[in-house]
Amino acid sequence: MAARCVSLWTRLPICAQRSQVLRPIHRLLSSPGTVAADTRREEQSLGIAETGSEDRTPKKRFSEVQKERREQAQRTVLILCPNKISEKKFLKYLSQHGPINNHFFFESFGLYAVVEFCQKESVASLQSVTRLSVGTEAVIPFRSRFFNLKLKNPPSQTSEQSCIPCSNQSSPSSKKLFELLCNAESVDDQLNTLLKEFQLTEENTKLRYLTCSLIEDIAAAYFPYCEIRPFGSSVNGFGKLGCDLDMLLDLDEIGKSSAHKTSGNFLMEFQVKNVASERIATQKILSVIGECLDHFGPGCVGVQKILNARCPLVRFSHQASGFQCDLTANNRIALKSSELLYIYSALDSRVRALVFSIRCWARAHSLTSSIPGAWITNFSLTMMVIFFLQRRSPPVLPTLDYLRTLADAEDKCIIEGHNCTFICDLNRIKPSENTETLELLLKEFFEYFGNFAFNKNSINIRQGREQNKPESSPLHIQNPFETSLNISKNVSQSQLQKFVDLARESAWILHQEDKDHPSPSSNQPWGLAALLLPSVANSMSHAKKKKKKPANERVKNLLESIKSSSTENSTNTSGKRTDSTQA
Amino acid sequence: MAARCVSLWTRLPICAQRSQVLRPIHRLLSSPGTVAADTRREEQSLGIAETGSEDRTPKKRFSEVQKERREQAQRTVLILCPNKISEKKFLKYLSQHGPINNHFFFESFGLYAVVEFCQKESVASLQSVTRLSVGTEAVIPFRSRFFNLKLKNPPSQTSEQSCIPCSNQSSPSSKKLFELLCNAESVDDQLNTLLKEFQLTEENTKLRYLTCSLIEDIAAAYFPYCEIRPFGSSVNGFGKLGCDLDMLLDLDEIGKSSAHKTSGNFLMEFQVKNVASERIATQKILSVIGECLDHFGPGCVGVQKILNARCPLVRFSHQASGFQCDLTANNRIALKSSELLYIYSALDSRVRALVFSIRCWARAHSLTSSIPGAWITNFSLTMMVIFFLQRRSPPVLPTLDYLRTLADAEDKCIIEGHNCTFICDLNRIKPSENTETLELLLKEFFEYFGNFAFNKNSINIRQGREQNKPESSPLHIQNPFETSLNISKNVSQSQLQKFVDLARESAWILHQEDKDHPSPSSNQPWGLAALLLPSVANSMSHAKKKKKKPANERVKNLLESIKSSSTENSTNTSGKRTDSTQA
Other Cβ atoms closer than 10 A to A44: 17
Ranges A12-21, A558-567, B85-94, B556-565, most confident: B85-94
Residue type, A288: V
Structure confidence at residue A38 (pLDDT) = 42
A270 contacts B140? CB cut-off 8 A: no
Per-residue pLDDT band for B546 (boundaries 50, 70, 90) equals very low
Whether A559 has a pLDDT exceeding 70, the answer reads no
8-state DSSP, A263: B
CA distances from B75 to A583, B123, B208 (A): 46, 6, 14
A261–B141 C-beta distance less than 8 A:
no
Q: How far is A223 from chain B (nearest CA, A)?
A: 6
Chain A: nearest CA to B318, how far in angstroms? 13
CA distance B4 to chain A (A): 26
* pLDDT for the residue numbered A247: 96
Mean per-residue pLDDT, A191-196? 95
Of A54, A329, A343, A22, nearest to A184 by C-alpha is A22
Going by C-alpha positions, the residue among B46, B36, B39, B44 that lies closest to residue B166 is B36
Q: How far is A284 from chain B (nearest CA, A)?
A: 6
Residues of A with Cβ-Cβ distance to B151 under 8 angstroms: 265-267
Q: What is the mean pLDDT of residues A465-478?
A: 92
Average pLDDT score over residue span A315-340:
93
For residues A288 and B221, what is the distance between their CA atoms, to the nearest angstrom?
13
**Interval A312-318 mean pLDDT:** 96
Radius of gyration of chain B (CA): 25
Helical segments of B221-348, H only:
252-257, 278-295, 332-347
> What is the pLDDT at residue B533?
82
pLDDT tier at B485 (50, 70, 90 boundaries)? very high
| Closest CB from A80, A90, A269 relative to B148 | A269
pLDDT of residue A430: 92
Compare CB distances from A131 to B258, B291, B297 and report the shortest one's residue.
B258
**Sequence-separated (6 or more) residues with CB below 8 Å from residue A18:** A179, A182, A183, A520, A521, A523
Buried b (16+ CB within 10 A) or exposed e, A139-162: bbbbbbbbbbbeeeeeeeeeeeee
**pLDDT for the residue A254:** 52
CB contact under 8 A, B142 and A80: no
**Any bridge partners for residue A166, and if so which?**
A105
Tell me the nearest-neighbour CA distance from B90 into chain A, angstroms: 8
A277 CB neighbours in chain B (<8 A) are: 138
Q: Is the pLDDT of residue A61 over 70?
A: yes
Are A292 and B288 within 8 A, CB to CB?
A: yes
Q: How far is A363 from chain B (nearest CA, A)?
A: 37
Instruction: Name which of A270, A279, A292, A303 to mutate to probe chain B: the one with the most chain B Cβ atoms within 10 A of its Cβ.
Output: A270
Confidence of residue A542 (pLDDT cuts 50, 70, 90): very low
**Band of pLDDT at residue B523, cut at 50, 70 and 90:** low
Min Cα distance B108 → chain A (Å) is 15
Question: What span, in angstroms and rounded, lies between the C-alpha atoms of B169 and B210?
Answer: 14
- Mean confidence (pLDDT) of chain A: 81
Mean pLDDT, residues A399-426 taken together: 94
High-pLDDT (> 90) share of chain A, %: 56
Model confidence at A526: pLDDT above 50? yes
Best mutation target, B95, B270, B279, to test chain A (most A CBs within 10 A): B270
- Computed over every residue of chain B, the mean pLDDT equals 81
H helix count then E strand count, chain B: 17, 16
pLDDT confidence tier of residue A471, bands split at 50, 70 and 90: confident
What ipTM describes this predicted complex? 0.77
- What span, in angstroms and rounded, lies between the C-alpha atoms of A339 and A583? 8
Contact yes or no for A270 and B222 at CB 8 A: no
Q: Which residues contact A508 (CB under 8 A, 6 or more apart)?
A: A540, A542, A545
Q: Three-state secondary structure along B448-479?
A: HHHCCCCCCEEECCCCCCCEECCCCCCCCEEC
Q: Is the pLDDT of residue A186 over 60?
A: yes
Among B150, B251, B260, the residue with its CB nearest the CB of A267 is B150
Instruction: Give CA–CA dist A226/B80, Å, rounded.
Output: 26
User: Mean pLDDT throughout A379-392?
Assistant: 97
Q: Virtual CA dihedral for B22, B23, B25, B31, nearest 10 degrees?
A: -160
C-alpha A179/C-alpha A525 separation (Å) is 9
Convert the pLDDT of each residue in B342-381 to its tens digit. 999 999 999 999 999 999 999 999 999 888 899 999 999 9
CB nearest to B272's CB, from A133, A278, A287: A133
**Residue B65, min C-alpha distance to chain A (Å):** 27
d(CA A95, CA A100) in angstroms, rounded, equals 6
Other beta carbons within 10 Å of A335: 25
Q: To 5 degrees, how large is the angle CA B459–CA B2–CA B576?
A: 100
Q: What is the spatial distance between Cα B263 and Cα B259, in angstroms, rounded to a whole number?
A: 13
DSSP characters over B486-516: BTTTT--HHHHHHHHHHHHHHHHHHHHHHHH
User: Is A270 close to B221, i.e. CB distance below 8 A?
Assistant: no
Q: Count how many residues are written for chain B.
A: 583
What is the distance between the alpha carbons of residues A436 and A246, in angstroms, rounded to a whole number?
34
Read off the pLDDT of residues B223-253 as tens digits, 9 standing for 90 and up. Answer: 878 899 999 999 999 999 999 999 999 887 6
pLDDT at B251: 82
Q: What amino acid occupies position A373?
A: G
Contact B269 A146 (CB under 8 A): no
Q: What is the mean pLDDT of residues A149-161?
A: 70
Q: Kindly report, residue by residue over A106-127, the tens digit of the pLDDT.
A: 998 889 999 999 999 999 999 9
Choose, out of A91, A272, A317, the residue to mutate when testing the contact with B (most B CBs < 10 Å): A272
B570 has a pLDDT exceeding 50: no
Inform me whether the pLDDT recorded for A357 exceeds 70. yes
* Tens digits of residue pLDDT in B136-145: 567 788 889 9
Q: Return the residue of B nearest to A277 by Cα.
A: B138
Shortest Cα distance, chain B CAs vs residue A135, angstroms = 9
pLDDT for the residue numbered B562: 42
Residue B133 is predicted with a pLDDT of 75
Quick one: what percent of chain B has pLDDT higher than 70? 77
pLDDT over 90, % of chain B: 56
Please give the Cα distance from A196 to A353 (Å, whole number): 9
Mean per-residue pLDDT, A242-248: 94
The answer to whether the Cβ–Cβ distance between B271 and A96 falls below 8 Å is no
B223: nearest CA in chain A?
A: A142
* Mean pLDDT confidence for A239-253: 89
Write out pLDDT tens, residues B422-450: 999 999 999 999 999 999 999 999 999 99
Verify whether the Cβ–Cβ distance B137 to A276 is below 8 Å. yes
- Chain B positions in Cβ-Cβ contact with residue A143 (cut-off 8 Å): 224, 254, 270
Kindly identify which residue of chain B lies nearest to residue A252, measuring between CA atoms: B141
Given this model, what pLDDT does residue B173 score? 85
One-letter identity of residue A337: S
Mean pLDDT along residues A50-73: 80
Residue A524 in this model has a pLDDT that exceeds 90: no
pLDDT band at A263 (very low <50, low <70, confident <90, very high): low
User: B interface mutation test: which of A85, A92, A222 has the most B CBs within 10 A?
Assistant: A222
Q: Which residue of A has its CA nearest to B146?
A: A271
- Inter-chain residue contact A271 with B147, CB threshold 8 Å: yes
CB atoms B223 and A142 under 8 Å? yes
Residue of A144, A253, A268 to mutate when probing chain B, most B C-beta within 10 A: A268
Q: What is the DSSP letter of A153?
A: S
Mean pLDDT of all residues in A359-368: 93
pLDDT at A175: 84
Q: Is the pLDDT of residue B135 over 90?
A: no
Q: What is the mean pLDDT of residues A160-176?
A: 78
Position A255 scores a pLDDT of 52
Mean pLDDT score, B316-337:
93
Judge contact between A228 and A247, C-beta under 8 A.
yes
Nearest CB to A295 within list B254, B284, B298: B284
- Per CB-CB distance under 8 Å, the chain B contacts of A215 are none
Domains and CATH numbers, chain A: 349-563 (1.10.1410.10)
B535: pLDDT strictly greater than 70: no
The mean-pLDDT minimum among A327-331, B245-249, B547-551 falls in: B547-551
DSSP string covering B123-172: HHHHHHT-B---SSSEE-----SEEEEEESSPPPTTS--PPPPB---SPP
Cβ–Cβ gap B263/A93 under 8 Å: yes
Q: CA distances (Å), B329 to each of A293, A295, B413, B482, in order? A: 20, 16, 18, 18
- B138/A278 touch (CB, cutoff 8 Å), yes or no: yes
Q: Could you tell me how many CB contacts below 8 A there are between chain A and chain B? A: 257
| Cα distance between residue A469 and residue A459, in whole Å | 8
State pLDDT tens for residues B498-518.
Answer: 999 999 999 999 988 776 655
Angle (nearest 5°) at CA A477 between A475 and A483: 135
Distance from CA of B138 to the nearest CA of A (A): 5
pLDDT-based confidence at residue B118 (cuts at 50, 70, 90): very high
**Contact flag A264-B89 (C-beta cutoff 8 Å):** yes
> Is pLDDT above 80 for A327?
yes
Q: Min CA distance, B267 vs chain A (Å)?
A: 5
Gap between the Cα atoms of B344 and B386, Å rounded: 8
Check whether B530 has a pLDDT greater than 60: yes
* Binary contact (A270, B135; C-beta < 8 A): no
On the question of pLDDT at A180 being above 80, the answer is yes
